[in-house]
């Protein structure tokens, strides 16, 4: 009887569970990007799917249903390895160029890897879908094409200007700013003009930088008859986007664009060190958490900047400060007594702690979304890339203050700390935004799982917009407008001709009657 009680639920589970086999191709070397991919794939694995992953960040511990099948080499180590000088070189760099080359063409060189080539061969059991990052290296869509399975994109940010056309996502440039710009609120005429010109330029520039190079690599390694990278992009069935209306605003959406912001905000693998947990619990007046993310080495920053931090942090005591510093021993002397340092921090557990009062950040999207989830106000000191746009958006929502790394002073740092700690507006606004951000019919993992299964069950075209089959002039109704203008012109011409004819007839009749009277 006991055997039956065990076997029956097992057989019942087999009859109703429909796990799929999914392949994730994530070759980019940015750890912050992979944080989202890792938690997405782990979430899908918990749903019963078999997950195979190609990346530069294999798991340190085994995870059920999750297998790292290929570990790609990492020529550039960015984790806790970016100096202040290297960071300065990135400031002002064209983001489209960086994405198209470093995060695009360069990564497509991995198509020459025999292990990558082998993925295009049928497997037993076969893959049901392929997931790639839609960013710069869309050449990896060739694997889904050769396996004849749906291609699903994952974007770690809101969509860059060259991504909406992949799924015919409406641009709506009149009120939806490009995510490479820092426009917030209603745009002026000049902002709308710049937004339009910049968006179309970025689309053209990305195409120019990637088309020839990625087409060459695809056909070199998989055959001359392979589709172009632009054709592969049109095969994307769904894009899971790290965005949400509470953060990114209202915009028209095609069903193939699915918001899953916050999917990485999970702390199942994080553990608090006993010493750190005690320190946070003992911080009765609260503490401020400071980190510049997983890449930048704060200890390489100018001594004047570090001096400002030391001076300002010492003034807020008894409020304490928790700092993530990769190499604490390289910091200058004179560290205030209210600071606790560590090279690694369980960030989500820290942000969830009831004694936290503020988060000082460089403005990375993943970290700031974690702070928003936990309702923690921020002081943003953006360093490069999208960090300026992120912080500007949070300032506009009254959940953050912004300081400039190049002009920061002890006085401005003091003012920011005093405001963020004492003005209840920022804490209340952050908590309200957190509630709005988390209020959804399904959580991010369940949303991603639902739509991935939907595409697999009903076909790669199940969410495909009819706009994909129309040209730009058809989408803009230029042909319809032209036809209507022609009709109006013909009508006006015809009416004019008739009126002129009638007038001439009347004038002719009047002339004939007048001549008869004279005779």
Q: How confident is the model over 73-94, as pLDDT tens digits?
A: 876 665 555 666 666 666 667 8
What global pTM score does this model have?
Answer: 0.88
Residue 314 confidence (pLDDT): 92
- C-alpha closest to that of 308 among 410, 191, 450, 184: 410
394 within 8 A of 378, measured Cβ to Cβ: yes
The C-alpha angle with vertex 227 and arms to 221 and 228, in degrees rounded to 5, equals: 90
Residue 3 confidence (pLDDT): 45
Question: Can you give the length of the chain in residues?
Answer: 519
Q: Using DSSP, state whether 432 is helix, strand or coil.
A: helix
Q: How confident is the model over 439-496, as pLDDT tens digits?
A: 999 999 999 999 999 999 999 999 999 988 888 888 888 999 999 999 999 999 999 9
Contacts of 276 (CB under 8 A, 6+ apart): 322, 340, 342, 345, 346
What's the token pair of residue 442? 């399904």
The C-alpha angle with vertex 209 and arms to 203 and 212, in degrees rounded to 5, equals: 115
Report the run of H or E that residue 505 belongs to, with start and end. Answer: helix 478-518
One DSSP character per residue, 33-47 reads: HHHHHHHHHHHHHHT
What's the token pair of residue 414? 């003091």
One DSSP character per residue, 334-348 reads: ---TTEEEES---HH
Q: How far is CA 169 from CA 30, 165, 450, 459, in A?
A: 26, 6, 20, 19
Contacts of 338 (CB under 8 A, 6+ apart): 313, 314, 316, 317, 318, 319, 320, 321
CA dist., res. 227 & res. 220, Å (int): 12
Sequential pLDDT tens for the chain (519 residues): 454 444 544 444 443 456 899 999 999 988 889 999 999 999 999 999 999 999 999 998 899 999 999 999 876 665 555 666 666 666 667 889 999 999 999 999 999 999 999 999 988 899 999 999 999 999 999 999 999 999 999 999 999 999 999 999 998 899 999 988 888 878 999 999 999 999 999 999 999 999 999 999 999 999 999 999 999 999 999 999 999 999 998 999 999 999 999 999 987 777 888 899 999 999 999 999 999 877 777 777 888 888 999 999 999 999 999 998 888 777 888 889 899 988 888 999 999 999 999 999 998 899 999 999 999 999 999 887 788 889 999 999 999 999 998 899 999 999 999 999 999 999 999 999 999 999 999 999 999 999 999 999 999 999 999 988 888 888 888 999 999 999 999 999 999 999 988 888 887 666 555 555 555
Residue 287: left if φ>0, alpha if ψ -120 to 50, beta else—which one?
beta
Distance from chain centroid for Cα 375: 21
Lookup result for tokens 């694997």: 143
Local structure of residue 329 (DSSP, 8 states): G
Q: Using DSSP, state whether 353 is helix, strand or coil.
A: coil
3-class SS letters over 284-311: CCCEEEEECCCCECHHHCCHHHHHHHHH
CA dist., res. 452 & res. 237, Å (int): 9
CA dist., res. 490 & res. 163, Å (int): 41
What's the token pair of residue 7? 């076997």
């Amino acid at each position: 009887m006991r055997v039956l009680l065990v076997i029956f639920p097992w057989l019942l589970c087999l009859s109703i569970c429909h796990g799929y086999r999914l392949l994730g191709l994530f070759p980019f070397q940015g750890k912050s990007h992979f944080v989202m991919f890792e938690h997405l794939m782990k979430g899908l694995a918990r749903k019963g799917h078999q997950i195979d992953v190609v990346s530069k960040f294999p798991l340190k511990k085994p995870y059920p249903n999750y297998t790292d099948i290929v570990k790609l080499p990492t020529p550039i180590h960015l984790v806790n390895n970016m100096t202040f000088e290297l960071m300065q070189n990135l400031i002002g760099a064209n983001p489209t160029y960086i994405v198209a080359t470093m995060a695009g063409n360069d990564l497509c060189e991995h198509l020459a890897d025999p292990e990558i080539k082998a993925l295009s061969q049928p497997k037993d059991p076969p893959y049901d879908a392929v997931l790639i990052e839609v960013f710069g290296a869309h050449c990896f869509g060739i694997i889904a094409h050769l396996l004849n399975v749906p291609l699903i994109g994952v974007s770690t940010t809101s969509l860059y200007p060259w991504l909406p056309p992949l799924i015919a996502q409406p641009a709506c440039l009149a009120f939806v700013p490009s995510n490479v710009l820092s426009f917030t609120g209603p745009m002026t005429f000049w902002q709308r003009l710049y937004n339009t010109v910049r968006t179309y330029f970025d689309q053209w520039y990305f195409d120019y930088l990637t088309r020839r190079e990625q087409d060459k690599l695809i056909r070199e390694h998989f055959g001359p008859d392979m589709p172009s990278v632009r054709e592969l992009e049109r095969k994307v069935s769904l894009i899971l986007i790290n965005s949400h209306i509470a953060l990114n605003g209202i915009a028209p959406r095609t069903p193939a664009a699915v918001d899953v912001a916050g999917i990485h905000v999970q702390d199942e693998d994080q553990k608090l060190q006993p010493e750190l947990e005690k320190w946070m619990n003992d911080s009765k007046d609260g503490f401020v958490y400071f980190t510049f993310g997983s890449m930048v080495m704060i200890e390489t920053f100018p001594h004047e900047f570090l001096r400002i931090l030391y001076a300002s942090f010492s003034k807020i005591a008894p409020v304490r400060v928790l700092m993530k510093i990769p190499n604490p021993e390289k910091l200058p002397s004179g560290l205030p007594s209210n600071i606790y340092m560590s090279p690694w921090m369980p960030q989500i557990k820290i942000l969830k702690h009831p004694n936290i009062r503020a988060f000082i950040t460089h403005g990375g999207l993943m970290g700031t979304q974690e702070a928003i989830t936990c309702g923690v106000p921020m002081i943003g000191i953006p360093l490069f890339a999208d960090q300026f746009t992120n912080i500007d958006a949070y300032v506009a929502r009254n959940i953050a203050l912004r300081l400039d790394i190049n002009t920061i002073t002890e006085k401005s740092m003091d003012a920011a700390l005093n405001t963020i700690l004492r003005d209840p507006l920022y804490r209340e606004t952050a908590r309200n935004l957190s509630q709005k951000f988390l209020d959804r019919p399904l959580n991010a993992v369940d949303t991603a799982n639902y739509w991935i299964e939907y595409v697999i069950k009903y076909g790669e075209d199940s969410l495909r917009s009819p706009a994909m089959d129309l040209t730009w002039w058809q989408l803009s109704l230029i042909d319809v407008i032209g036809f209507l203008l022609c009709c109006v012109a013909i009508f006006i011409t015809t009416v004019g001709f008739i009126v002129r004819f009638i007038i001439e007839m009347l004038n002719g009749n009047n002339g004939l009657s007048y001549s008869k009277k004279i005779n």
